[in-house]
Every structure is written in structure tokens, then in C-alpha cells.
């Protein structure tokens, strides 16, 4: 019996979309078609591949009026924010812009006897497993550079955003990217694991939970196929005594609560120098109280439901446990809070790192705020986490921030901003956040393998 994947809309709990999973033998055939087509794709001129990917990105943009309400129905983000095409286009276009330089041969030297260089060559078939929280932007991080580098790409999207892969495939195929080269596939976990175990893919990129990343690595164990992971986060903000408090509140609270807190690099804990704590807290509470929880299809809604009621339950349980242990909740329960997917924002003080809400990923609209006496205490608390994606520092002193940043166990350090992917920088993490790196020149290096040429010339 064929299994079906169902996208349950958080708006009303109804089934928004269903798709049958691909059986194992058909999945193997899809992989074989990608592998058979990849060499011809890689042989095309780089400029041609770049141009086709740019056209594919533009084709996605042309669908945006349909994509925005579709996203609201699938994962709850309010339509007022206009979807993801801005970031999608920025990331994909940047990777197209830098491709020629990033993929250029590294010339080691040439003389009358030898020519030596290192060439970046595509892995072959790249398997991209994308998440639901920013389904277009996270996918394009790998899809665009992988295709440009000459790989075939097989995209498996999260069930919660079931239609995103179809949209991407439709757009990219419409501009001439071969159907075998970019495939959207619907797989269950068992078939996905089996394909990985059989070395069907040459490179795997996974964005999702820590448990999901561990499952990917277990499936790939012993295959020597590289697995790049971007997993959980518990990203901190640190507000120093000389910070612009208004800017810090606006950015950190947006980073904590935008998309109902469902962001891998969202701000989940904030440390404020004790002399500025009360001021920061007062303004943070005002920010949270100004949000309007409701139906994401309503243009007045600024906070939609979480993507699934089970995700909201995790957050409610963390809040309840923290309050039971002595924390103070500052935001009244929103009238639109239905006990299910609709969950209003919350700010907690009186929290400690013994509480789960300050240790484990919440991935929801809650943030704990603690006073600290100095940089050393802030550093100790920021590093007291099994995750390491980003950290956001707030001070007018750039040198001080850089010095603190050198001591933070994280993939990215922000100063006076947060929750943003600069495609010119490597997007990476450490500890349980995973390993690997996307975007930037390093993203191309990870999506290709180095091949060395040591060519001896015959001179007589």
C-alpha cells in the first residue's frame, strides 16, 4: 500500500496537500536518471549553467503572488511579510555572481617542465533535505550552487511545506534545466535511509533537527559520503552597557518572535548588562504586546500560528516548567491562543540555565532574559549550550565585540544585528548545531571535490 504524506495546515488543522511517497524501486530509478544525466550537465559551459539558474530564480519570483498565501496555509507565516523571495533571490544571485571565481582552477605553478593546478569538480548527485521553517531560502542555499557547480540535485522537502519542491522544480524546468538534473522527490524516512545506505548520493545536505541529522549520519555511516548538517540552535544575544537599547530591543525581539520564533538562528536567550536590564525588559515587553496573533491570511496579523500544534506544545511545556521553577512570565495569554497551534509571544525573567527553556531549543515565540554583571559572565552563559549557530552582540565598541566574538563557541558572530544570512559569509555552526558550511566561496568548496593535476611536459 502506497504511503501518503499529508501537509496539515496550522490555520485550521485541515489537510492542505497530500502526495504519495515514491516506492524504493522508483526512487532508485530516479537516482539512476540523475546520475546518467549529470556528466552532460557538468560539461555545459559554466556561464550557461549560471544563466539557467538565474532564470530559474526569476521564475520562482514570478510565482510569488501564489506562493505567499500557500506558505501561510502550509506553515502559518502571515501574508503581510510577503514571502521569502527577497532572501531567496539575494542568496541565489550572490552564488551565481561569485561562481566563476569560486570554481576557478587554483594554479600552483607552470614552468617548462610541469603544469600544476587544482580543479573543483562536482560530486555528482547531491541530495538536499530541506526544512519547513524557511522552505525556499534554506533550499536555495544548496540548490543554486550545487547546480551551478555541475551537480545533479535531488530535493526532498519537509512534509509541512509539501508543495515547495514542486514549485522549485516547475520554475527551474520551465527555463530549461533538465528534469533529470533537478528532481523533487517525495520519500518516507525508510526509503531515504535505504538510498543513503546504498550510496545513491555523492553528497548529502540536511537542514533540520539534531535527531534528523543523527539519523542521516547513521544512514551514511561507512559509505564515506559527506553529510553536511545545519541542526538546532539556542542563539544568544548579549546587550552591553553602551548599547543602543532601542535598536537592540527592536532587532533581538524581532529575531526572537518573527515567524513565531521558528528560525534556526532566532534569538532564544538574551543577556543584558545589569545596569540596562530594566530598560531593556520594559521595551521588550512593549514590543511583544504589540504583536497581533491571528489567521496568517489576514493582512493585519503580525504573528501566525506555529506550524503544528505539537511544536506549540513543546514551547508551552517549557514555559510552564520554567514558571513552576520560579520564572516570571510577563506577557498575558493572548485571546487568540487556542491551546493548539496558535500560541502568543512570551518573555521570561528569573530564568536559570537549569531550566529547559534556557538549555534546549524552543523553536517558538518565547525568550528568556537574564541580567549579567560583565563580559565574562555573559561569555560563560552564552557558551553554556550544546548548540553553536550564531550570537548577537550589542555595543558601540567594534574591537570589544571582536574580542568577545573570538571566545564565543558559535558559527557566526553578529554585531548590532541578528537573524540574517549574509551570502558572502559561510553559514556554519559547531557543537550539536552540526558541521559543514553553505553559501560563500566555502559553499562551493563543499559542493565540489578538489582534483589535482600534475602534468609533466615532454620536451624532447
Query: Rounded to an integer, what is the distance from CA 380 to the centroid of its chain?
Result: 26
Task: Output the DSSP codes for 171-232.
Answer: HHHHTT--TTTEEE----HHHHHHHHHTT--SEEEEES-HHHHHHHHHHHTTT---EEEE--
The x, y and z cell numbers of residue 332, run together, are 498575558
Per-residue b or e along 6-24, where b marks 16 or more CB atoms closer than 10 Å to that residue's CB = ebbbbbeeeebbebebbee
The x, y and z cell numbers of residue 270, run together, are 538574551
Q: Could you tell me the CA-to-CA distances from 88 to 7, 61, 128 in Å, in that order?
A: 23, 9, 16
Determine the number of helices (DSSP H) and then strands (DSSP E) in the chain: 14, 19
Sheet holding 203-207, edge to edge: 182-184, 152-157, 125-130, 203-207, 227-230
Is 26 noted as a catalytic residue in this protein? Answer: no
Contact of 203 with 126, CB cutoff 8 Å: yes
Is 230 noted as a catalytic residue in this protein? Answer: yes
Q: Residue 335 burial (CB < 10 Å; 0-12/13-18/19+)? A: exposed
Q: Is the dihedral of CA 98, 129, 60, 169 positive or negative?
A: positive
35 in helix, strand or coil?
helix
243 in helix, strand or coil?
coil
**What is the distance between the alpha carbons of residues 18 and 199, in angstroms, rounded to a whole number?**
29
Closest CA to 142 of 381, 440, 435: 440
The x, y and z cell numbers of residue 202, run together, are 555523492
Contact of 40 with 265, CB cutoff 8 Å: no
Q: Exactly one of 70, 230, 268, 361 is catalytic; which is it?
A: 230
The x, y and z cell numbers of residue 268, run together, are 532564544
Q: Exactly one of 7, 263, 264, 426 is catalytic; which is it?
A: 264
Residue spans of alpha helices (H) in 103-134? none
**What is the distance between the alpha carbons of residues 258 and 158, in angstroms, rounded to a whole number?**
20
What are the residue numbers of the active site? 230, 264
Amino acid at each position: 500500500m502506497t504511503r501518503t504524506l499529508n501537509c496539515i495546515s496550522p490555520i485550521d488543522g485541515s489537510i492542505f496537500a497530500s502526495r504519495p511517497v515514491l516506492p524504493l524501486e522508483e526512487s532508485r530509478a530516479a537516482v539512476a536518471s540523475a546520475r546518467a544525466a549529470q556528466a552532460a550537465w557538468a560539461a555545459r559551459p559554466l556561464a550557461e549553467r549560471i544563466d539557467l539558474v538565474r532564470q530559474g530564480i526569476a521564475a520562482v519570483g514570478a510565482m510569488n503572488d501564489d506562493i505567499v498565501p500557500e506558505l501561510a496555509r502550509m506553515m502559518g507565516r502571515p501574508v503581510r511579510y510577503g514571502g521569502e523571495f527577497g532572501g531567496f533571490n539575494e542568496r541565489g544571485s550572490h552564488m551565481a555572481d561569485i561562481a566563476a571565481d569560486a570554481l576557478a582552477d587554483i594554479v600552483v605553478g607552470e614552468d617548462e617542465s610541469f603544469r600544476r593546478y587544482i580543479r573543483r569538480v562536482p560530486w555528482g548527485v547531491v541530495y538536499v533535505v530541506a526544512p519547513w521553517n524557511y522552505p525556499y531560502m534554506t533550499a536555495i542555499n544548496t540548490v543554486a550552487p550545487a547546480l551551478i557547480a555541475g551537480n545533479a540535485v535531488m530535493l526532498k522537502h519537509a512534509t509541512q511545506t509539501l508543495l515547495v519542491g514542486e514549485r522549485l522544480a516547475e520554475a527551474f524546468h520551465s527555463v530549461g534545466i533538465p528534469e533529470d538534473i533537478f528532481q523533487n522527490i517525495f520519500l518516507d524516512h525508510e526509503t531515504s535511509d535505504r538510498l543513503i545506505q546504498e550510496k545513491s548520493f555523492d553528497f548529502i545536505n540536511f537542514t533540520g533537527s539534531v535527531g534528523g541529522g543523527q539519523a542521516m549520519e547513521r544512514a551514511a555511516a561507512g559509505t564515506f559520503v559527506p553529510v553536511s548538517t545545519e541542526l538546532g540552535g539556542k542563539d544568544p544575544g548579549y546587550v552591553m552597557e553602551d548599547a543602543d537599547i532601542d535598536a537592540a530591543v527592536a532587532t533581538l525581539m524581532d529575531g526572537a518572535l518573527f515567524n513565531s520564533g521558528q528560525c534556526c538562528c532566532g534569538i532564544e536567550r538574551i543577556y543584558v548588562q545589569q545596569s540596562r536590564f530594566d530598560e531593556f525588559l520594559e521595551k521588550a515587553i512593549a514590543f511583544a504586546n504589540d504583536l497581533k496573533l491571528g489567521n496568517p491570511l489576514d493582512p493585519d496579523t503580525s504573528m501566525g500560528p506555529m506550524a503544528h500544534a505539537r511544536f506549540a506544545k513543546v514551547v508551552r511545556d517549557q514555559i510552564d516548567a520554567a514558571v513552576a521553577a520560579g520564572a516570571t512570565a510577563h506577557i498575558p495569554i493572548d485571546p487568540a491562543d487556542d491551546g493548539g497551534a496558535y500560541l502568543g509571544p512570551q518573555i521570561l525573567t528569573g530564568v536559570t540555565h537549569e531550566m529547559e527553556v534556557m538549555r534546549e531549543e524552543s523553536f517558538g515565540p518565547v525568550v528568556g532574559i537574564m541580567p549579567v554583571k560583565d563580559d565574562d559572565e555573559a561569555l560563560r552563559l552564552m557558551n553554556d549550550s550544546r548548540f553553536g549557530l550564531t550570537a548577537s552582540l550589542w555595543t558601540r565598541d567594534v574591537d570589544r565585540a571582536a574580542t568577545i566574538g573570538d571566545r564565543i563557541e558559535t558559527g557566526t558572530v553578529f554585531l548590532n544585528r541578528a537573524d540574517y544570512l549574509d551570502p558572502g559569509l559561510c553559514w556554519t555552526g559547531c557543537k550539536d548545531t552540526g558541521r559543514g558550511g553553505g553559501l560563500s566561496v566555502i559553499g562551493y568548496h563543499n559542493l565540489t571535490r578538489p582534483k589535482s593535476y600534475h602534468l609533466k611536459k615532454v620536451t624532447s
